[in-house]
A = this chain, B = another copy of it.
């Protein structure tokens, strides 16, 4: 017997003619009634070897029941697979199947699948319809909104891509039940970030509900997905092309990207690096006189309760600085930081070298611990 579907929320990301709905619920994947969110009669489903055995068959069944033809494309799993070879593989499969401009590309998976599939949709014949079914919390709260698509290069993560909006996003909380604990935590990092940079009240809600979230309680998860998407879509609506305000969403990311690149992509999850990066940004915020130590400690405690690392790896100060300089939010080589001023609000600023080095020293795991 099919489980009963439940719709928790539906919201609209308001981007004028590029607006689209985010549908949040459970057991949505097997319901043909949700197929109307997926345009076109041919759907190329891009997924990976972890997700495919869990959801691919039932999704194809549902889409077939709605009269759609499916082309499944299963990629290997992992951040290191977000590369140009897999991108070209997806595009070549579309060409082999003589897919035209009305073929929909559907991303079934986490951020890697979403970013790569979105970039394929942005570039196949210069743009075809794109739908996301994110199956990780991180992808549901982060990649669902913003239209960022990309692949990695050896010299930089997400350095090649496009801004490309989906036609719709379907976030099914039942896909989170099989998620590894590390990946749940990685998603919570972005949820905490949204509270920290823009909504102190939401931050308190997360503090009060972190146990329910870690226990994967449906309603708590649906609420943080909805609230995160609302916050992020408001920021993106005001600055779709990332010319200013939107940079606040990179809170924790300048440090986080350096961790990911320094350790090699895939060693830490993106969300883990962001969690630790937020600790470092909060430390720098205190040193700049922007944030109370008490609020920094609340943030560090919440990040820790969410199962995220709070001690940074020792990359050596020179390597840290080198890695942060190629971060693509930086213009003309100056490092810009997103800092809290105070908790619940963000500022974008440069920082004096001595304070930055003090932060690196105090947050980094000492060499003899390695």
The answer to the question of A333 belonging to the interface, with a C-beta cut-off of 8 Å to chain B, is yes
Residue among A92, A100, A242, A330 facing the most chain B CB atoms (10 A cut-off): A100
The answer to the question of A16 belonging to the interface, with a C-beta cut-off of 8 Å to chain B, is no
Known contacts A126-B148, A126-B150, A127-B241; A159 and B95 CB within 8 A of each other: yes
Q: What separation, in Å, do the CA atoms of A287 and B328 have in the docked complex?
A: 57
The answer to the question of A331 belonging to the interface, with a C-beta cut-off of 8 Å to chain B, is yes
Residue among A92, A125, A156, A163 facing the most chain B CB atoms (10 A cut-off): A125
Residues of B within 8 A of A330 (CB): 100
Chain A contact residues, majority secondary structure: mixed
How many copies make up the complex?
A: 2
Interface members, chain A 213-260 (any B CB < 8 Å) = 241-242
Contact assessment for A91 and B153 in the assembled complex, using a CB-CB cutoff below 8 Å: yes
The answer to the question of A162 belonging to the interface, with a C-beta cut-off of 8 Å to chain B, is yes
Contact assessment for A88 and B328 in the assembled complex, using a CB-CB cutoff below 8 Å: no
Residue-wise, chain A 70-88 has the 8 Å CB interface mask toward B (1 for contact) of 0000000000000010001
8 Å CB contact of A160 from B98, B102, B124:
B124
Contact assessment for B100 and A331 in the assembled complex, using a CB-CB cutoff below 8 Å: yes
Residue-wise, chain A 144-171 has the 8 Å CB interface mask toward B (1 for contact) of 0000111001111001111100000000
Known contacts A153-B91, A155-B92; A163 and B98 CB within 8 A of each other: no
Chain A, interface residues (CB within 8 Å), range:
35 or more
Q: What separation, in Å, do the CA atoms of A198 and B54 have in the docked complex?
A: 55
Q: What separation, in Å, do the CA atoms of A161 and B128 have in the docked complex?
A: 11
Residues of B within 8 A of A95 (CB): 153, 155-156, 159, 326
Nearest residue, chain B, Cβ from A331: B100
Contact assessment for A163 and B126 in the assembled complex, using a CB-CB cutoff below 8 Å: yes
Residue-wise, chain A 95-128 has the 8 Å CB interface mask toward B (1 for contact) of 1101011100000000000000000001111110
Known contacts A101-B331, A331-B101, A331-B102; A96 and B161 CB within 8 A of each other: no
Contact assessment for A162 and B333 in the assembled complex, using a CB-CB cutoff below 8 Å: no
The answer to the question of A3 belonging to the interface, with a C-beta cut-off of 8 Å to chain B, is no
Q: What separation, in Å, do the CA atoms of A84 and B88 have in the docked complex?
A: 9
Nearest residue, chain B, Cβ from A241: B127
Interface members, chain A 10-47 (any B CB < 8 Å) = none
Residue among A92, A126, A127, A325 facing the most chain B CB atoms (10 A cut-off): A126
The answer to the question of A53 belonging to the interface, with a C-beta cut-off of 8 Å to chain B, is no
Selected A-B contacts with CB under 8 Å, 24 pairs:
A84-B88, A88-B153, A91-B153, A91-B159, A91-B160, A95-B155, A95-B159, A100-B328, A100-B331, A101-B331, A102-B332, A122-B162, A123-B160, A125-B159, A125-B160, A125-B161, A125-B328, A126-B149, A126-B161, A126-B162, A126-B163, A127-B162, A127-B241, A162-B162
Interface members, chain A 309-361 (any B CB < 8 Å) = 325-326, 328, 330-333
Closest Cβ–Cβ distance, residue A120 to chain B (whole Å): 9
Residue among A123, A148, A332 facing the most chain B CB atoms (10 A cut-off): A123
Residues of B within 8 A of A156 (CB): 95
Residue-wise, chain A 277-317 has the 8 Å CB interface mask toward B (1 for contact) of 00000000000000000000000000000000000000000
